[in-house]
Structure 1
Amino acid sequence: MGKPFQIRLIFFYCFLFAGLLFSTISCNSTNETLPNDQSSEGSSLAEDSLVYRIIIDDEINPSVSRLVRRGIEEAEKREADYLFIELETYGGLVVDADNIRTDILNCPIPVIIYIQNNAASAGALISLACDSIYMNPSATIGAAAVVDQMGQVQPEKYQSYMRGKMRATAEANGRNPAIAEGMVDPSIVVPGISDSSKIITLTAQEAVSEEINFCEGIAPDADSALRLAGLREYAVQNHIPTSTDNVIGFFVRPVVSSLLLGLIVIGIVLEFKTPGVGLFIIISLVAAVLYFLPLYYEGLAANWEIALFLLGLVLLAIEVFVLPGFGVFGILGFTFIACGLGLAMVQNLDKESYEFTLKTSPSTIIRPFLLVASVVILGFISALFLLGKGIQTSYLSKRLTVQSVQSKEEGYVVGRAHELNAMKNKEGRTISMLRPMGKVEIDGKSYHARCEQGYLESGTPIRVDAINGTTLLVSKTINE
């Protein structure tokens, strides 16, 4: 009955992962087409223009960064005249916002952005990178101070970095750099706008004013924004991510990556604590594939980083099954696994030559390793909790672990002091391999024993040299 149960459990995990993939594939971008008013008044910048539209309506994260990068690539392939971004975000990760900013600034196609309601924090940096900004009458832009997940403002070095990015981006497109810095630092004084006590957040009316001139116009919808930009006759091509894009975008999200890291760690610990089961290592390997494959496809995880992770698993297996104890192989195994998981999240390939460069800041390297270290610690504690509290008494444990009792009647004894002391100089034989720990049989009873020199095969004649607690110290008998 144990084997069918394992099969059902494996099918359960397969259906779980299939459900995640299906939900991700189903979440394609909208395919609605903007209305095209052929009789729009105003000067025409271009006739029969192709506008390629990208929609950003989520927090800024690796999946959004990938969405924009792929969208720009598609726009260039289709020889679009304009790239049109519809933005609605409260912010997100600075690293991914900076990647999007760089991609937009390097885009050879004019970029128009329409802020539907919010362009806060990372959204403000992305907006400033665009050639033209249009806003809904109720939209706002600004509040770009760097904060943590709890909303607490980060130390000055992070704010300094963000100020520099905002200033450089504003200068690149001819916007007031002081206002851009004021969106990060409340100490920046901008006469008539900020009195150095609050971070700047602009409404649409303020952004479009002549004094500020951060916005080219106010429009009630995206189509009106395009007409306000001077486009009269145009066709809109929506960027629709492929199923592969959606799946990869889902698995590179920080929350999903953290969950996969946790499954990898918990699976490894549970498998080594309950050797011979196999199910936990299968779960761990599946999680590892789902973790590494999207990163490999993105050019983040290299072959050597995956090999580093696999080498770590091999070293751990050697430590557990070949050389019991916790020594050099175990330490190296955990180190290689952590390095493989951490380096896989760091961009270390040149996008043109695909050569190893590791051109990145120390903070970009430290952040993935802090994430890996945190998840490893939490995963290890969770695995120990499952082993100590939940899993030992669960139905799953009864199906997957040995439940038999090693009774005295069957030859298994816990030697008392006087009984073990009587074992000294007695002879017997090994009934398991001693490497260096194992079991020996003396006078028809089995005892825990340790070989002091080398390893002993099962069936080797031995003699008890000493007693250490409840363990017999033995050596191979020499035939005279």
Structure 2
Amino acid sequence: MHTVRRGLYALLLGAALALAGDEAAGPTPYITAVRLEGMVDDGMTVLVTRALREVADSKAIVFIVDTPGGRVDSAIQIVDAIVDAPCKTIAFVDGMGAISAGALISYACDEIVMSPSTNMGAAQPVTIGSDGMEPLGEKETSFVRAKFAALAEMKGRNPDIAMAMVDKDIELRAYQNPDGTLDIRAVNRPAELTGEEAVKELIDDPGKVVKQVIETIIGEELPIPEPKESQNSEAAPVEQTAPDTQPTQPDDGIVIEPAGKLLTLTPQEAKKYGVIKYIAKDMDDLMWQLGYTNTAVVNVTPTWSEDLYKWLISPEITLVLLVLGIGGLYLEFKTPGFGMPGIVGICALAIYFGSRSVVGLADWLDIALVITGVILLLVEIFLIPGFGIVGALGIVFVLAGIVFSFTFTDFSLPQYSWEWDRLEDAGFALTMTMICMVVLVVATWKLLPRSPLYRRLVLADQQLPTDGYSVQTPDEAESTIGQVGVASSMLRPAGRGRFGDKTFQVVSLNEFIEEGTPIVIVQAEGNRYVVDRLKKPA
């Protein structure tokens, strides 16, 4: 018996020591994996933002990039979130590759790894035109090109290669370094100076800057004038300095991407040109090459709520929610009391703004504008006769709140085409909503009263005086004027009055009248009797 007990104690002690050892060793190391698949959109932004919030203890986060591109503004939001990540970020280009916005997301990561059958690049911003995909203007191209260059410099990559993915006018050439490595340079783009560098050059050599401006305007290179010799002294010999960059003559270097084509890199090319260091077959191979062999992988996938939000902000569902929201409130204003139309309208607008606030489109300002607009409309309808400035402001506030809920920037004017696209989406949704509202109004007040459903919901029978339904005739009402009685209750101003053997519901003319006060009927309309105090004769 003692032997069994000692064995049990030893077993419990061993388990306790094992648990203590695990706690002392700390939590199990892990990396986070997030698959970015399909079009880059607002739903992907929500997924990346949530994943980055949950990686506080992760050694690294791997974004499995498998996308043909998508919305530029959504990609920029994803890039900004990745740059501020609290751990190492890795882009694993897999599947169809990292094209367009996918390449931009990949360049934001600390490390890029590609699988053998993928590619990366072709990131010129485009739009859907009458002839299919059409490139955007120079303003948008310049913005994306500079974004690629800035990310490349931040992560220690060649910015010229990054810009060649965006601008097809850039030609890339390879130069052999003494150590055998390749130096890739863009040979046909003007030097891009920062603001500080441009000011310094303008101060140091204004003539050079003016010359460059004139050459840009006329499209020709101006001759350099020979310096005049001084009459008092011989001209000092000019010291020839080596240029900062290698010559860029047409026959200099090896052309790896001619002008007129967007750069798209295969894994071998990306590794050869120094864009990536590793090519991995799958996640296991990637983890082995990066030194995460004994590290667990925690996959972050879209939740059902994120899929629901993505569905709710689709153009079709957005239109349905706006029609139900505005239409429900309209019907509620037109009917007495508070009922089902008001509940449906409020719920539809709550779902509309709630889903957009999750993806970052709508904020409290947009919601506050709509609530303020509805309040102003209620004031105009119930407190102020007619329709004036208050009602107009209410409509403006409601429309502004809805329009702002389509954009990431509320009060700043759009600068790029993708920002205008957001406003076009808002305009289309509002236009379709107004068309549906007109149809709803016509159906509600013109067609619905003639339908069997309306007769089931609304009492259609009317008891008209011409048919004999009357409280009393005008002569009978006229005959009651002048009758004297007593207030049988306090008139505030409504109450009861006793006239002989009859009790009427009466309303005082000017003031409250105490119970028991003699009164006289001064007006009678139907069953409405207006009374006043009975004045004593002088």
Normalising by structure 1, we get a TM-score of: 0.63
Question: What is the alpha-carbon distance in structure 2 between the residues aligned to residue 143 and residue 394 of structure 1?
Answer: 56
Question: What is the alpha-carbon distance in structure 2 between the residues aligned to residue 395 and residue 189 of structure 1?
Answer: 71
Structure 1 residue 186 displacement after superposition:
1.0
Greater C-alpha radius of gyration: 2
Which residue of structure 2 aligns with residue 201 of structure 1?
Answer: 264
Give the 3 Å change call, closer, same or farther, for CA 359–332 of structure 1 in structure 2.
closer
**Does structure 2 retain, via aligned residues, the 8 Å contact 1:263–1:379?**
no
Per-residue deviation, residues 167-217 of structure 1 (Å, max 9, x unmatched): 111111122212211222111111223211122222223222x2x222222
Structure 2 counterpart of 1:293, from 326, 350, 354: 354
Question: What is the alpha-carbon distance in structure 2 between the residues aligned to residue 123 and residue 267 of structure 1?
Answer: 41
Which residue of structure 2 aligns with residue 180 of structure 1?
Answer: 162
1:70-109 pair list within 5 angstroms: 70-76=50-56, 79-109=57-87
Which residue of structure 1 aligns with residue 117 of structure 2?
Answer: 138
Which residue of structure 2 aligns with residue 125 of structure 1?
Answer: 104
Q: Which has the higher contact order (CA 8 A, sep 6+)?
A: 1
Structure 1 counterpart of 2:345, from 263, 277, 284: 284
Which residue of structure 1 aligns with residue 135 of structure 2?
Answer: 153
Which residue of structure 2 aligns with residue 352 of structure 1?
Answer: none
Give the 3 Å change call, closer, same or farther, for CA 396–140 of structure 1 in structure 2.
farther
Partner secondary structure for residue 334 of structure 1 = helix
Structure 2 counterpart of 1:58, from 29, 32, 38: 38
Give the 3 Å change call, closer, same or farther, for CA 303–195 of structure 1 in structure 2.
closer
| Paired residue type of 1:122 | A
1:5-404 pair list within 5 angstroms: 49-76=29-56, 79-116=57-94, 117-150=96-129, 151-191=133-173, 192-208=255-271, 210=272, 212-252=273-313, 256-257=317-318, 259-268=320-329, 279-296=340-357, 301-319=362-380, 326-344=387-405, 362-363=414-415, 368-388=422-442, 393=447, 399=453
| Paired residue type of 1:177 | P
Structure 1 residue 147 displacement after superposition:
2.0
| Paired residue type of 1:234 | T
Question: What is the alpha-carbon distance in structure 2 between the residues aligned to residue 223 and residue 180 of structure 1?
Answer: 28
Question: What is the alpha-carbon distance in structure 2 between the residues aligned to residue 234 and residue 276 of structure 1?
Answer: 63
Give the 3 Å change call, closer, same or farther, for CA 305–141 of structure 1 in structure 2.
same
**Does structure 1 retain, via aligned residues, the 8 Å contact 2:323–2:436?**
no
Question: What is the alpha-carbon distance in structure 2 between the residues aligned to residue 130 and residue 318 of structure 1?
Answer: 53
Question: What is the alpha-carbon distance in structure 1 between the residues aligned to residue 256 and residue 294 of structure 2?
Answer: 38
Question: What is the alpha-carbon distance in structure 2 between the residues aligned to residue 103 and residue 293 of structure 1?
Answer: 22
Give the 3 Å change call, closer, same or farther, for CA 400–186 of structure 1 in structure 2.
farther
Structure 1 residue 391 displacement after superposition:
9.4
| Paired residue type of 1:182 | A
**Does structure 1 retain, via aligned residues, the 8 Å contact 2:40–2:67?**
yes
**Does structure 1 retain, via aligned residues, the 8 Å contact 2:325–2:349?**
yes
Structure 1 residue 320 displacement after superposition:
5.0
Structure 1 residue 336 displacement after superposition:
0.6
| Paired residue type of 2:399 | A
Question: What is the alpha-carbon distance in structure 1 between the residues aligned to residue 406 and residue 149 of structure 2?
Answer: 28
**Structure 2 unaligned regions, length at least 5:** 1-27, 174-254, 467-522, 526-538
1:409-424 pair list within 5 angstroms: none
Give the 3 Å change call, closer, same or farther, for CA 396–161 of structure 1 in structure 2.
farther
Per-residue deviation, residues 413-455 of structure 1 (Å, max 9, x unmatched): xxxxxxxxxxxxxxxxxxxxxxxxxxxxxxxxxxxxxxxxxxx
| Paired residue type of 1:112 | I
Structure 1 residue 330 displacement after superposition:
3.1
Partner secondary structure for residue 39 of structure 2 = coil
Give the 3 Å change call, closer, same or farther, for CA 460–293 of structure 1 in structure 2.
farther
Question: What is the alpha-carbon distance in structure 2 between the residues aligned to residue 370 and residue 275 of structure 1?
Answer: 37
Question: What is the alpha-carbon distance in structure 2 between the residues aligned to residue 328 and residue 199 of structure 1?
Answer: 55
Structure 1 residue 59 displacement after superposition:
1.5
Question: What is the alpha-carbon distance in structure 2 between the residues aligned to residue 180 and residue 395 of structure 1?
Answer: 66
Per-residue deviation, residues 153-176 of structure 1 (Å, max 9, x unmatched): 222211111111111111111222
**Does structure 2 retain, via aligned residues, the 8 Å contact 1:308–1:337?**
yes
Per-residue deviation, residues 258-301 of structure 1 (Å, max 9, x unmatched): 55345434545566678889554433322211122244456764
Structure 1 residue 385 displacement after superposition:
3.3
Question: What is the alpha-carbon distance in structure 2 between the residues aligned to residue 109 and residue 318 of structure 1?
Answer: 53
Give the 3 Å change call, closer, same or farther, for CA 218–393 of structure 1 in structure 2.
farther
**Does structure 2 retain, via aligned residues, the 8 Å contact 1:104–1:111?**
yes
Which residue of structure 2 aligns with residue 445 of structure 1?
Answer: none
Structure 1 residue 328 displacement after superposition:
2.0
Per-residue deviation, residues 359-407 of structure 1 (Å, max 9, x unmatched): 9774487665543333112210122234447996579965359999999
Structure 1 residue 136 displacement after superposition:
2.1
Give the 3 Å change call, closer, same or farther, for CA 171–319 of structure 1 in structure 2.
same
**Does structure 2 retain, via aligned residues, the 8 Å contact 1:262–1:376?**
no
Equivalent pairs, count: 355
Identical aligned residues as a percent: 31
